[in-house]
Amino acid sequence: MKRLLLLLLCLALLLCAGCQTNQPTTTPGQTAVPTAKPVKKTEYVVDVSLGTEGNSIDPTYVSDADTASYVQHLFEGLMKYVPENEKQDGTVTEVKLDYGMAESCDVSEDGLTYTFHLREAFWSDSQPVTAGDFVYAWQRLVVPSNVERPANRKVLNGIVKNAAEIVSGQADVSTLGVRAADDFTFVVELERNCPYFLKLCASPCLVPLRQDVIETHGGNWTDSGTIVVNGPYTIAEWVHDDFLEMEQNEYYYNRSALGPDRIVWHFSDSEQSALEEFQAGAYDFIGTVPSESLKSLQSENICQTAARSGTYYLYFNVNSFSDWRVRAAMLLSVDRDAIADSLSGEGTAATGFVAAGIQDSEYAPFAAESHGESVFYQALQSLYPDADLKTYEGRCALAQQLYQQAVDEGAWDGKNAGSYCYNRSTLNESVAKACQKNWADVLNLNIRLEGMSRDQYSKELKAGNFGVAYLSWMPDYNDAQNFLDLMKTGSKYNHGAWSDPTYDDLLLQISALPDGAERDKLLHQGEELLFSDEGFPICPIFFYGESYCMSKKLQGVGYNPFGAYSFQYAAK
C-alpha cells in the first residue's frame, strides 16, 4: 500500500544566553577533511528492493517515499535522521534527528530567525558545501517559473518569509527569507514562530544543490556521469529500470561511521518477483510485499509491518449532522478492527486522529494507543461512566443511546443525512460499504453511497456537497500539529465546516511554544477536544502501515514514519 508523501523530521530546542540553541540529542558527526581518506574495513554490500525507480532523483522534485530513500543516501540537508539503536531481531529501528550539514543552530528570542552554522563538508568533486548552495536550492524549490512545478513547492508557505507570495507569482524569488551571511552561515527568516521548523530542514527537497552543475547539464544533471552529491554515498553505476548502485562518497565528512561499502537498489514493478529474490537470498531487504501473501509471511515472521504516518478518516458535514451526539454515535458504531483486518495486515485500527508513527518531543509515539486507551472514548467515558467502551458491543450500546437522545429531543430526524461520497477505488468502496452496514445495523441509519471520479470528488469535497466524505492524510512533517491544524476554523482541509473557538485558541498556544513537554501536553488536549461533546467532526478509520522483509543478518536499518528507509549505518 504505497502512498506519496514527504520525508520530514523532528527537532529539539534548548535555551542559551540571549537566544535559543537547537540541539538534537545525539552528537553531531566528525569534522570533515578537505581530502579523501579511504576507510579500510571488510567490504560488504546491501541489496535492497523498494519498488520501481521513480521519476527523478532530483531532490527538488521528490514526491514519494521510495525516491526519498534514494535521495537521502546521496544528499544531506541541514538536519538528518540517524538510527536510535541497532536492533538484531530482523526489524527496522526508529530514527531521531541529528545535525547534518549544520554543526549548530541559533534561534532568535522571537523565534523568527534561524542561523545555521555549517560544518566543514565537501561535495563529491571535492568542492566545499556552502551556504550559497542552500540559498540556491531553497529558491529553486519555490520559483514559479519551473516548467515542472515541484510537488513540495508549498512546503515553506506561511513559514519562511515570502514563500507563499513567490509560489503564487506575487513576489520575486530573491525576496525569499534565506541568505548566506558568509560561506558557512545560512540564515532563515520566518513569518511566524514555527516550533517544528527543524523538522522541515531535514526534508529531501531542502538539501543543498550545486547551481553550476545544474545549469551546465540541465535535465541530465542527475545522470551517473554528471551528478555531484554531498551525502554519504554517490552513484557508481545506474542501469535504468534495473538497478542503481551506490558507493561510499570518499569526501563525506563522517565516512568512517558508514556501514555498507555499496548499496544496490534493485528496481521491480513485481512484488512477487522481489519476494522470490529475497527468499532466495539475493536481496537483503524488500520494501514491497504481495498483499495476498502478507498475512502468511507475517505468521511465519518473515514479514514485518512498521507504522506509517498516515490516517484514513471520514468527515461528518456539520450542516447535515448538526448534533454532536449523532456524529459520536456514528463514530462509535464503526467496527474499525474488522475494517483494518480486511486490509491484509497493512493497516491498524485508528485510535485517534494523529497517526501511529508520529512522535512527541521525546521521540515517543504520540498516538493515543501508546497511552493505554483510544482518545475517541476518553471524554465519553467521563460523561457516561457506566458505558462499556472497551468492547465493540459496549460502544454500539452507547451509540444507540446517544442517537436516541438526539431523536427524542428533536435534534435529529434522519432526513438530512446526505450522501457518503468517495472517489472510486477498491479500498474506498470497501470502507464505505462497511461503514454503511455498521450504521444501518446499529443505528438503523441508512446512508446512500455515491462513488465518483477523482476530479468530481475533489470538486464535491471542496464545495461541501456531502454528508460523509473521506480523506487520507499523509503529514508534511513528523509532528502532531500537522494533523490538528487540519480541523481549525477556516482551514481549507476542514471540509465538514466544524468550528470550535476553544480548539482554535489552543492551536494558537501550541504554535507559540517550543518543542517540549508543555507543548506535547497541549497537543494531546487538542486531539481530545476533537472527540468531546460538541466535537466528533471526523471519524478516523485506520492508520497506514508499511510492510517489509528484512534479512535476520541485517541490523541498524533506519526507518522514519514517512516510509523512507536508511541503510548508511546498517551492518551485517
456-502 pLDDT per residue, tens: 999 999 999 999 999 999 887 788 999 999 999 999 999 999 999 99
pLDDT tens digits, residue range 21-52? 444 543 333 434 445 444 445 689 999 999 98
All three cell numbers of 533: 461533546
All three cell numbers of 479: 509532528
Residue 368 has pLDDT above 70, yes or no: no
- Please state the rounded mean pLDDT for residues 360-371: 73
Residue 4 has pLDDT above 50, yes or no: no
Q: What count of other Cβ atoms lies within 10 Å of the Cβ of residue 283? A: 22
All three cell numbers of 549: 522483509
Closest C-alpha among 240, 237, 262 to residue 249: 262
What distance in Å separates the CA atoms of residue 368 and residue 246, rounded to the nearest whole number?
40
Closest C-alpha among 520, 476, 483 to residue 355: 483
Residue 19 has pLDDT above 90, yes or no: no
Q: Which residues contact 372 (CB under 8 A, 6 or more apart)?
A: none
What distance in Å separates the CA atoms of residue 64 and residue 58, rounded to the nearest whole number?
12
DSSP state of 129: P
Assign residue 559 a region (left: φ > 0; alpha: ψ between -120 and 50; beta: otherwise): beta
The residue type of 404 is Q
Please give the pLDDT value at position 433: 97
Averaged pLDDT score across all residues of the chain:
89
Phi, then psi, of 203 in degrees rounded to 5: -70, 140
Residue 16 has pLDDT above 50, yes or no: no
Q: What count of other Cβ atoms lies within 10 Å of the Cβ of residue 536? A: 27
Q: Is 479 exposed, middle or buried (0-12, 13-18, 19+ CB in 10 A)?
A: buried
Cβ distance 398 to 327 under 8 Å? Answer: no
Distances, alpha carbon 91 to alpha carbons 87, 515, 552, in Å: 7, 29, 8
Q: How large a percentage of the chain has pLDDT more than 70?
A: 90
SS3 182: strand
Residue 331 has pLDDT above 70, yes or no: yes
Distances, alpha carbon 280 to alpha carbons 273, 274, 533, in Å: 11, 10, 56
The residue type of 65 is A
pTM of the model: 0.84
Closest C-alpha among 347, 370, 342, 552 to residue 438: 342
Helix (H) or strand (E) holding 186: strand 185-189
Please give the pLDDT value at position 488: 96
Assign residue 46 a region (left: φ > 0; alpha: ψ between -120 and 50; beta: otherwise): beta
What distance in Å separates the CA atoms of residue 344 and residue 325, rounded to the nearest whole number?
32
- Please state the rounded mean pLDDT for residues 94-103: 92
SS3 202: coil
In terms of DSSP H, where are the helices of 201-290?
211-217, 271-279
pLDDT tens digits, residue range 395-445? 999 999 999 999 999 999 888 788 999 999 989 999 999 999 999 999 999
Residue 341 has pLDDT above 70, yes or no: yes
Please give the pLDDT value at position 423: 94
Half-sphere exposure of residue 405, counting CA atoms within 13 Å on the CB side? 13
Q: 140 or 36, which is more confident?
A: 140
